[in-house]
Amino acid sequence: MSYCINPDCPKPKNPPTVNQCQACGSPLLLRDRYRMIRALGRGGFGATFLARDEVLPGKPPCVIKQLCPSTEAPQVLDMARDLFQREAKILGKIGNHPQLPRLLDYFEIEQEFFLVQEFINGATLQQEVKRGGPFTEAGVKQFLSEILPMVQFLHESHVIHRDIKPANIIRRQQDKKLVLIDFGAVKDKVSPVLANSSEQTALTAYAIGTPGYAPPEQMAMRPVYASDIYALGVTCIYLLSGKAPKDLNYDPTTGEMLWQSKVHVSDHFAKVLQKMLEISVRHRYQGIEAIHRDLDLEPYLEGLAHNMAFPAQGVSPLNGHSGSHGSVPSPMSQLGSSHSGGSPSSRMAAAIRARRERASSQSGPTGGHPRNGYSSLAGAQSAKMPHRIHPMTADDIKQKYTKGRRDFSLQTFKTLDLQRTFLEDINFNQSKLPNANFQGADLSKANFGRANLSRTSFRNAKLVRAYFNYANLEGADMRGADLQYACLSNANLRGANLCGADLSGALVSDDQLALARTNWSTVLPSGRRSIP
């Protein structure tokens, strides 16, 4: 089909071979090269189209963005031209990143501006949530692990995106990588806007971002790098809850989004999200590295509390370097603010132990910790002398799960028999589970990141949206398992049996699958059957 881009055309759809619109007479071959196929979106100042480049062999698809101001006022046209040139400049500067769309062409025709970009085939995260429901905490952490390096690349290139949201993030079909699109609101430096009120209003209409995702300073035309971090935080809330910002309540006094009751996440991740969503720029994360640091810390919290009664002075357990982690305190460093002496490691460990002691005391002098099941620390000597923890059995896990516990990370288990057990949202991150039996179990949204699962049986198990990043699944029996939208990135699948498994939408590479056993009944991430 040939699509007419004249906004006043009564019938824009035309046969695929004609070069002139049959309804309004407008040319259908833009610049004698690009044939529009269909409209992807339309707004007050322009539209976006899927097109084909008829000059190149194979007529490859591309995306053409048309910026068409609705007024001929000279100041608005000047600002539109400036915005157009700015976006082209930014796309040209950052276009060599593999997860950002490349700029292919740009031009102006009769006061209309056109950008030609690489076409990204795939579904947006907004579409994923609408089709498959909200993400788990593990799924959102995987999202952050992919998107944060992209945003850091932009910021290091002195670019603020200003319109990060689920609809602008596509999971590319060919490799399942996330791609950040729509740079129409980009800003290539951090500086105040100096303009009179009329110009300010006109510019706001072009490049303010999306209400609800844009923080207050951006709405006031004073964006900073941390503005993108706020938008990422709102995107995380959408992925976790399936609710757009307009569907959430706000504190009428502070303007803060009230999201806590709509999601189910760990206390630590909630603190990370809270800091991403701070209304005050001063209290928000200032850079991507600080978010990485806090997210990387989480799996080690319990280990730090147990093993760091007397840590080496001046050495961090996370990176082996001495000194401070930076001028912006992380949620974990704030936990230890009352412990002013010693190295950052010792202060962190003391803060973690103090938190556990407080939680243990609330459950009684001899009761277990309400979240991790460990014995309470009684007296000063208990903090200096680690106590033995007996490995849990399958019955222990079932009992604790029934009582509300979900975190079983960083532990070593002997052979477990948990077949046909309901264990949705359970966390076995970095645990050792060789030869475990999960046959027929419901492990939807489970976290097996970096876990040892060699020769474990997941036969006919439900593993929808389960997280296996860097897990060892060598020799695992996964026949008939439901692995739809599971994350298997970097997992060791050597010798794993995936015959009859459903991997629709899963994150797994062809190289990984080549190491596993598949057959004609294996459903690949594309939704097609495997060809053995």
For the chain, the C-alpha Rg in angstroms (whole number) is 27
Residue 323 φ/ψ, nearest 5 degrees: 95, -170
**Angle at which helices 225-241 and 137-156 cross, to 10°:** 160
The mean pLDDT of 380-384, rounded to a whole number, is 37
Instruction: Looking at the structure, tell me whether residues 424 and 528 fall in a common domain.
Output: yes
Query: DSSP 3-state assignment of 402?
Result: helix
Given a contact cutoff of 8 angstroms between Cβ atoms, the answer to whether 457 and 476 are in contact is: yes
Per-residue confidence at 293, pLDDT binned at 50, 70, 90? confident
Task: Phi first, then psi: give them for residue 94, nearest 5 degrees.
Answer: -105, 0
Is 510 in the active site?
A: no
What's the 3-state SS for 403-447? Answer: CCCCECCCCECCCCECCCCECCCCECCCCECCCCECCCCECCCCE
Nearest to 34 by CA among 68, 70, 5: 5
Domain-located, residue 323 = no
Whether 203 is in a domain gets the answer yes
Integer angstrom CA distances of residue 231 from 190, 245, 273, 384: 17, 11, 11, 43
The residues near 488 (Cβ < 8 Å, ≥ 6 apart) are 468, 469, 471, 473, 503, 506, 507, 508, 512
At 396, list the tokens: 């222990």
At residue 109, the 3 state secondary structure works out as strand
291 located within any domain: no
The alpha-helical segments, DSSP class H, found in 17-166 are: 74-94, 125-132, 137-156
Which has the minimum average pLDDT: 77-81, 356-360, 427-431?
356-360
Q: What is the CATH number of the domain that holds 147?
A: 1.10.510.10
Q: What is the pLDDT of residues 234-284, one digit of tens each?
A: 999 999 999 999 999 998 888 899 999 999 999 999 999 999 999 999 999
Asked if residue 303 and residue 280 are part of one domain, the reply reads: no
Consecutive H or E run containing 239: helix 225-241
Domain identity same for 131 and 266: yes
We report the CATH number of the domain holding residue 76 as 3.30.200.20
Residues 416 and 469 in one domain: yes
Domain count for the chain, please give it: 4
Asked if residue 184 and residue 110 are part of one domain, the reply reads no
372 pLDDT more than 80: no
Residue 333 confidence (pLDDT): 41
The pLDDT of residue 196? 39
Domain containing residue 428: CATH number = 2.160.20.80
d(CA 128, CA 506): 12
On whether residue 343 sits in a domain, the answer given is: yes
- What does the H/E/C string look like for 214-238? ECHHHHCCCCCHHHHHHHHHHHHHH
Q: Are residues 350 and 437 in the same domain?
A: no
Q: Are 527 and 179 in contact (CB under 8 A)?
A: no
Write down the catalytic residue from 163, 182, 442, 502. 163
In the numeric block, the tokens 């053409």 are attached to: 64
Domain for residue 179, yes or no? yes
Tokens of 347: 């202060």
Q: Is the domain of 166 the same as that of 209?
A: yes
3-state helix, strand, coil in the chain (%, to 5): 30, 15, 50
Q: Which of 99, 118, 137 is the last residue of a domain?
A: 118
| 471 half-sphere exposure, CB direction, 13 A CA radius | 33
Instruction: Give pLDDT, residue 382.
Output: 36
Among 405, 411, 466, 409, CA closest to 441? 466
Residue 356 placed within a domain:
yes
Residue 324 lies in a domain: no
Q: Calculate the dihedral angle through the C-alpha atoms of 120, 126, 132, 138, rounding to the nearest 10 degrees.
A: 90
Among 118, 153, 188, which residue terminates a domain? Answer: 118
Q: Is 350 exposed, middle or buried (0-12, 13-18, 19+ CB in 10 A)?
A: buried
pLDDT in tens, 452-495: 999 999 999 999 999 998 999 999 999 999 999 999 989 999 99
Confidence of residue 147 (pLDDT cuts 50, 70, 90): very high
Q: How many CA atoms lie within 13 A of 322 on its CB side?
A: 6
SS (H, E, C) 271-299: HHHHHHCCCCHHHCCCCHHHHHHHHHHHH
Q: Are both 371 and 444 inside the same structural domain?
A: no
Burial class (CB in 10 A: 0-12, 13-18, 19+), 300: middle
Same domain? 140 vs 266: yes
Residue of 507, 491, 502, 509 whose CA lies nearest to 527: 502
Domain match, 360 and 414 both: no
pLDDT, tens only, 70-117:
666 677 777 777 777 777 887 787 867 888 888 888 888 877 788 898
Say whether both 414 and 509 belong to one domain: yes
Residue at 239 is within a domain: yes
Q: Are residues 64 and 38 in the same domain?
A: yes
Q: What is the pLDDT of residues 153-190, one digit of tens each?
A: 999 888 888 899 999 999 998 888 899 988 765 555 44
Residues spanned by the domain of 253: 123-286
The DSSP output letter for 499 is T
Beta carbons of 93 and 157 less than 8 angstroms apart: yes
pLDDT at 45: 60
Listed residues 369, 384, 399: the one ending a domain: 384
Integer Cα distance of 281 and 230 in angstroms: 9
User: How high is the pLDDT of residue 101?
Assistant: 86
